[in-house]
Amino acid sequence: MEEILNINSISKRYGKVKALNNVSLQINRGEIYGILGPNGSGKTTTLGVILGVLNADSGSYCWNGKTPSKNDRKNIGSLLETPNFYPYLTARQNLSIACEVKEVVQSEVDRVLNVVDLINRADSKFKTFSLGMKQRLAIASALLGNPETLVLDEPTNGLDPQGIAEIRTIILDLAKNGKTIIMASHILDEVEKTCTHVAVLKLGNLLTYGPIQSVLNNQEQVLVVSENLDLLKLTLAQIDGVSNIKQIKDKVSLILAKGKDISYLNSALFDKGIAVSEIGVQDSDLEANFLELIK
Amino acid sequence: MLDLLRIEYKKLTPYPTFWIIFGLFFLFTPFVFYGAGQIKFDAFPIDFATIYNFPNVWNIITYIASWFNLLIGMLLVIIVCNEFSFKTFRQQVINGHSKADFIISKILLIISFSLLSTLYLFFIGAFFGYISGSEASILTNTKYLLIYFIQSLGYMSVALILAIIIRSSAMSIILFVCSIFVESIIRLFVPEVLASYFPMKIISNLTPFPSPGGVQVSSINAVITDSISLNISIIVAIVYIILFWGFSYIILTKKDIN
């Protein structure tokens, strides 16, 4: 796999707050890499550093194996936090300026406005746009020059469900065309539906990273029903490889360690004198796994 | 580098404030200059209309325009602060500009504004000089235009560094306009030898107050402050301008772009 971005032990402080703590990450060509974490976990700071707007206190990063330069950024389409344009200029004028900065032909303006379905509002001033239109214009700007890599920070932030679906469709279409997409989000559902890989940050620390299924779905949640739920919970707590025991209505949910399966659990409970009326694997609960990770 | 300037004007030409402030400069400068020549004091035996004559015209029109220079300085503050408040500076760095590109583009803008206003003064001065029927050479004392150009660079460089440090239009404009007064208060507590070299003092003294009526214009090499000649003032002003540009770059590179 061809490495697009290599982040090597980056740390960044804001006064006493450690925003990033020795974060290292490798992203390969064609991956849709979600950077996931709660608010304040360091997602935007990570993207700010790799896009050259924040100075890291230590560590380094390189794009395509080379020391970062402004020319790298010209070949990366980026949206960092909010859409940033001149409010008194039209969509077309704003994109025209972005074309000049990126050294991209002006004909790109109409192409990207078509992609995000804003061509009819090309000559409207940015300040008259709704939040969803502003976000789409920011994505249009990121698409100028048809870059191979896109860096998107909370691309569906503040959008209504229809807007979210539209942006998600655009991202998935781009991914189908082989683009490498690095996307920060605190919305698990968004990352789950869009990304192939994920890195999870919490308080500036990189907790885990890798293919999304192995990171967020590596433990099976099991549901057990028995006559005496309190006794069931007490007994489960004594069984090796069982964790995260919770009562959900009339069932008890638990996480089984790798290598343990339902038959193991069933016989362990039987040996301890518990008769179960129902036992089964719950469909993957990414949210539970994510919350478990960042706990 | 001209590409950077072209981008700057692409941003500015649709910006109403740009036209309003330059419009005020273009309107007020000849208006006030014309008005100054119409002053009549019966008790004061000076014909103020001679200010329109060559070479008087250059000293007086640059002196009058130097006050409106503050307007263009304010415009520069607004332009630079807008880049921070709209977060367009950040976006342009993300899109592939460097922080040096940002400073260079603003310096080019400063130079172009100074050139534009100096050229305008040349045409206005030449116009008044010719219609007044003056017979002296148009070129005599045009050095005042060059001095005005440097002064204009100086004011806008102060505006640039203030805008980069403060990043808020309102605060930067207040500080910029008050800087002359604030500096004069500070100078009271500093030995006179040093006080003469303070930046706003040096820059504002570049266009000397004309002699009464503008009839006897002070010589280009005249002593314009208590202790500093005009030539020294020009050199010190240029040093300040370069320092302001350099410090603007250093401040910008050290700070994160939020």
SS (H, E, C) chain A: CCEEEEEEEEEEEECCEEEEEEEEEEEECCCEEEEECCCCCCHHHHHHHHCCCCCCCEEEEEECCECCCHHHHHCEEEECCCCCCCCCCEHHHHHHHHHHHHCCCCCHHHHHHHHCCCHHHCCCEHHHCCHHHHHHHHHHHHHCCCCCEEEEECCCCCCCHHHHHHHHHHHHHHHHCCCEEEEEECCHHHHHHHCCEEEEEECCEEEEEEEHHHHHCCCEEEEEEECCHHHHHHHHHCCCCEEEEEEECCEEEEEECCCCCHHHHHHHHHHCCCCEEEEEECCCCHHHHHHHHHC
Report the pLDDT value the prediction gives residue A251, as an integer from 0 to 100.
Answer: 86
| SS3 state of residue B223 | strand
> In this complex, do B90 and A85 lie within 8 Å of one another by their Cβ atoms?
no
A96 interaction partners in chain B (CB closer than 8 Å): 10
Q: Minimal Cα distance from A99: which residue of B?
A: B95
pLDDT range class, residue A72, cuts 50, 70, 90: confident
What pLDDT, on the 0 to 100 scale, is given for residue B217?
A: 44
d(CA A209, CA A34): 9
Measured between CA atoms, the residue of chain B closest to residue A72 is B96
Strand A180-185, strand A149-153: pairing: parallel
Q: Measuring CA to CA, which residue among A201, A291, A294, A214 is closest to residue A10?
A: A201
Specify the range with the lowest mean pLDDT, choosing from A48-57, A86-95, B39-48, B91-100. B39-48
B22-45 mean pLDDT: 84
- Residue numbers of B between 43 and 82 with CB closer than 8 Å to A: 82
Distance, CA of A45 to chain centre: 14
Q: pLDDT at position A283, please?
A: 60
CB pairs under 8 A between A and B: 72
Residues A138/A113, Cβ–Cβ less than 8 Å: no
Q: Does the distance separating the beta carbons of A54 and B90 come in below 8 Å?
A: no
Coil/strand/helix, residue B229: strand
Higher pLDDT, A290 or A177: A177
Residues of chain A with pLDDT > 70, as a percent, come to 94
pLDDT in tens, B218-247: 444 444 445 578 889 999 999 999 999 999
pLDDT at A220 over 80: no
Which chain B residues are within 8 Å of A98, Cβ to Cβ?
Answer: 91, 95
pLDDT confidence bin for B136, thresholds 50/70/90:
confident
pLDDT tens digits along B137-178:
888 888 999 999 999 999 999 999 999 999 999 999 999 989
Determine which of B20-34, B122-136, B242-256 has the lowest per-residue pLDDT on average: B122-136
Cis peptide before B191 (omega within 30 of 0): no
Would the pLDDT of A30 be above 80?
A: yes
Beta-ladder partners of A199? A35, A209
Touching B: A residues 95-154, CB under 8 Å = 96-98, 100-103, 141
Residue A183 has pLDDT above 80, yes or no: yes
B118: pLDDT confidence band, cut at 50, 70 and 90? very high
Partner residue facing A74 (CB), from B6, B82, B96:
B96
The pLDDT of residue A295 is above 80: no
Note the CATH number of domain A220-294. 3.30.70.100
Burial class (CB in 10 A: 0-12, 13-18, 19+), A40: middle
Q: And the tokens for A146? A: 């048809």
Question: Are the beta carbons of A101 and B256 separated by less than 8 Å?
Answer: no
Q: Is B11 on the interface with A (CB under 8 A)?
A: yes
pLDDT in tens, A268-278: 999 989 889 88
Asked whether the predicted pLDDT for residue A290 surpasses 80, the reply is no
Domain boundaries, chain A: 3-216, 220-294
Interval B13-30: pLDDT, tens: 999 999 999 999 999 999
* B183-218: pLDDT as tens digits: 888 888 888 888 889 999 899 888 877 765 444 444
Å between B95 CA and nearest CA of chain A: 5
The interface pTM score, or ipTM, of the predicted complex is 0.88
CB A86 to CB B88 under 8 A? Answer: yes
Q: What pLDDT does B50 receive?
A: 76
More confident residue, A186 or B81: B81
Q: According to the model, what pLDDT value does residue B23 have? A: 95
| Chain B residues with beta carbon closer than 8 angstroms to that of A55 | 254, 256
| Superfamily of structural domain A3-216 | P-loop containing nucleotide triphosphate hydrolases (3.40.50.300)
**Closest CB from A73, A80, A100 relative to B10:** A100
**A155: pLDDT confidence band, cut at 50, 70 and 90?**
confident
- Is residue B215 helix, strand or coil? coil
Contact A101 B95 (CB under 8 A): yes
Which residues, 6+ apart, have CB-to-CB distance to A140 below 8 Å?
A: A91, A95, A112, A113, A115, A116, A118
3-state secondary structure B22-78: HHHHHHHHHHHHHHHHCCCCCCCCCCHHHHHCCCHHHHHHHHHHHHHHHHHHHHHHH
Give the pLDDT band (50/70/90) at residue B9. very high
Over residues A164-171, the mean pLDDT reads 83
Residues in chain B within 8 Å Cβ distance of A70: 96-98, 101
Which residue did the predictor score with more confidence, A284 or A214? A214
In this prediction, residue A286 carries a pLDDT of: 65
Nearest to B201 by CA among B164, B174, B227, B222: B227
Tokens of A229: 């739920």
- Mean residue pLDDT of chain B comes to 87
pLDDT score of A5 more than 80: yes
Q: For B82, which residue in chain A has the nearest alpha carbon?
A: A86
Q: pLDDT at position B36, please?
A: 82
Contact A82 B87 (CB under 8 A): yes
